[in-house]
Amino acid sequence: MNRFFICAAVLMLGLSACKQPGPTADTDRPVPPKAAVKPHQLEKHGHVRTDNYYWLRERENPEVISYLEAENEYTEKMTAHTKSLQDKLFEELKGRVKQDDSSVPFFKNGYWYYTRYEEGKQYPVRCRKKGSLDAPEEILLDGNAMAEGHGYFNIRGVSISDNNELMAFGTDTRGRRIYDLQVKNLKTGEILPDKITDVTPNVVWAADNQTLFYTRQDPETLRWYQIYRHKLGTPRDQDVLVYEEKDVTFRTGISRTRSNRYLIIGSWQTLSSESRILEADQPEGEFRVFHPRQRDLQYGVSHLGDKFYIRTNLDAKNFRLMATPVGKTGLKNWTEVIPHRSDVFFGGFTLFKDHLVLEERSNGLDMMRIKRWDGSDDHYLDYGEPTYTTWSSSNPEIDSTVLRYGYSSMTTPDSIFDYDMNGKQKTLKKQEEVLGGFNSADYKTERIMGKARDGVEVPISVVYHKELFRQGENPLLLYAYGSYGASMSASFDSSRLSLLDRGFVYALAHIRGGQEMGRHWYEDGKLLKKKNTFTDFIDCAKHLAAQKYGHPDKLFAMGGSAGGLLVGAVLNMEPTLFKGVMAAVPFVDVVTTMLDESIPLTTGEWDEWGDPNDKTYYDYMLSYSPYDQVGAKDYTNLLVTTGLHDSQVQYWEPAKWVAKLRAMKTDDNKLLLKTDMSSGHGGASGRFDRFRQRAFYMAFLLDLAGVSE
């Protein structure tokens, strides 16, 4: 039964949630849908909350679907006047992209691998060439052909066997990050009958070219918790469970070291981790614990030669690098390679035969450090811009003396370089080609420091069009995330040009809750210090206005997922600070979700937000939870988006939030909810569909700023 028939059936039953919006008697403005009030009491620690919209959790309830469809129709009508602007923006976004583009090929085990797009098509084609880039092309997967008939389509988990003859891959056609694994014979083109349904895309080969290891998620919570071994040609019910993560606060997955020598099962949660190792050529052997898990001890394992290398926070808040001989993994055998530094966050590393590449962050900026194992050289790459991002790219060959890395800034499109680590020469392999007359010299990027109310200085990355910037006059969009220790780097986005070219200033606030300034930055924005994240954002907005980067009456805010919680909390604290707010897939029903262990991600995040079964955390979380703190007051213009199949933030959180705001707010500003009925947390899967979504979001902001073209 499709959703339109469901809505029609509900209409015949006369249920209020499917009430269709239409014009009022005295105006042309549509009447917003009104969700039915069905009080549901939630009690904890002797405190009772009444949730009038708890019923919206019933995904299969036709009344719920009807309400979401009615909200979509209302949003469509309320934004109809921006349709021509949306179309123009869509054509701009699409017009900046080279449609027949391809990635920079990388070499692995005798083949060059790359992806390419074809003119007018939505999905990438994955290809390879044997030995030389002049060799005939071999198409591995054509995403366009595979996506036919599906509203959503995604490929992940592509893994090639050691003999180059078999390829495992996972496909998701629902947007809920639940995949079907299959294996393709690359010699014959045949898809083997070994189909493993409803699992994660986490799959690796053993060295025998016959054994696959894959990860299964809990069907209800979606927590990754089981590792299975599958032998090609055998039924799935004969697959062997090799590991089950029984601690509900942990997740698990499997990988293979870049040396290809070892399989590693990792278990992790916010504050601790654990690894198990097994020789890749002994797939039926027993995995061995590398070091038993300990509270507050995090570590990750890589391999090179006769040693394992370990990135760990052992006596090192900002992490350090240690090593231990193969066969002696106990903690007492670990020796220091790179020491801890209080002013530098050690984020990751890549092992080469002759070099060690370190990814560091100092004073909020990414850095790439190259160190020879023999000690004869130790240097950093130089980038020459005030704010930027850099990363280690595809480096599968451990014997290489060339580092492939990426670089981007708010004015420099994504660029891929090959860097000769001996000769210290870099070669630009590709820079994202931005069509439509783009010239990076037309834009300026800055890095400024805003002062939080407790005196802490918060970095802010800013970009604007030089000729359109007028001190204190421009509309300004402020974005941030501020959770899970995720650092937001200043990178390029060609879509953003449509705002900059219409006079917008774009600002990225590196607020606490991320790890931009080190581990302490994260710890000062989580648990019982979470409100620092929200006040940092508010203070950055006010600082930008005071420094005349934007007009005080033309400030806009945007956040997604946990960043949606951020802007939701800020809305309750400063409901009219911003002219408009865009909240994408927002995590806004914090207390109820964190009390419900059946919801995906809950148990693994108690160390991030707090466990509300503890009254201290319950009270604190309740004091900022966007849904619980909605009040009878004026709120600014708000656009909220969600996906019906979202596996990260369930659709009902934003739906309930909008329903409660509609019932309680005292203003006449716009309140719009747009639900993608065929996708999940990441939105649309096709590249042009994503452009259409972005055009809609930008049209909402531009319309509020008084820009119609």
CA–CA separation, 511 and 147 (whole Å): 39
Secondary element (H or E) of residue 637: strand 637-643
DSSP letter (8 states) at residue 31: P
Query: Of how many residues is the chain composed?
Result: 709
Query: Which residues are bridge partners to 448 per DSSP?
Result: 460
N-term to C-term CA, the chain: 40
Q: Say if CB 157 and CB 201 are below 8 A apart.
A: yes
Q: Is 56 helix (H, G, I), strand (E, B) or coil?
A: helix
Count of CB atoms within 10 A of residue 11's CB?
13
CA–CA separation, 199 and 77 (whole Å): 39
DSSP secondary structure string for all residues of 160-199? E-TTSSEEEEEEESSSSS-EEEEEEETTT-PBPS--EEEE
Q: 């420099």: which residue's tokens?
A: 412
**Structure token digits, residue 606:** 């108690």
Query: Which residues are bridge partners to 170 per DSSP?
Result: 156, 181
DSSP strand pairing (443-451 vs 457-465): antiparallel
Q: SS3 helix, strand, coil % of the chain, rounded to 5?
A: 25, 35, 45
DSSP letter (8 states) at residue 708: -
Q: What's the number of CA atoms in the CB half-sphere (13 Å) around residue 110? A: 7
Backbone angles phi, psi at 423, to 5 degrees: -85, -10
Tally helices (H) and strands (E) across the chain: 13, 38
> In 387-487, where does DSSP find H-type helix?
none
Q: 């909240």: which residue's tokens?
A: 583
Q: Say if CB 38 and CB 87 are below 8 A apart.
A: no
Which amino acid, one-letter code, is at 443?
Answer: Y
Query: Which residues are bridge partners to 159 per DSSP?
Result: 168
Largest CA distance in the chain: 82
Catalytic residue among 408, 561, 678, 685: 561
Q: Say if CB 510 and CB 516 are below 8 A apart.
A: yes
316-319 long-range contacts (CB < 8 A, ≥24 apart) are 316/340, 317/342, 317/518, 317/519, 317/520, 318/342, 318/344, 318/345, 318/346, 318/518, 318/519, 319/345, 319/346, 319/347, 319/519
**Structure token digits, residue 360:** 């560091």
Q: Is 681 a catalytic residue?
A: yes
CA–CA separation, 358 and 33 (whole Å): 53
Rounded to 5°, angle at Cα 597 from 593 and 602:
60
Catalytic residue among 239, 536, 646, 676: 646
Catalytic residue among 172, 681, 685, 703: 681
Which residues are known catalytic residues? Answer: 561, 646, 681
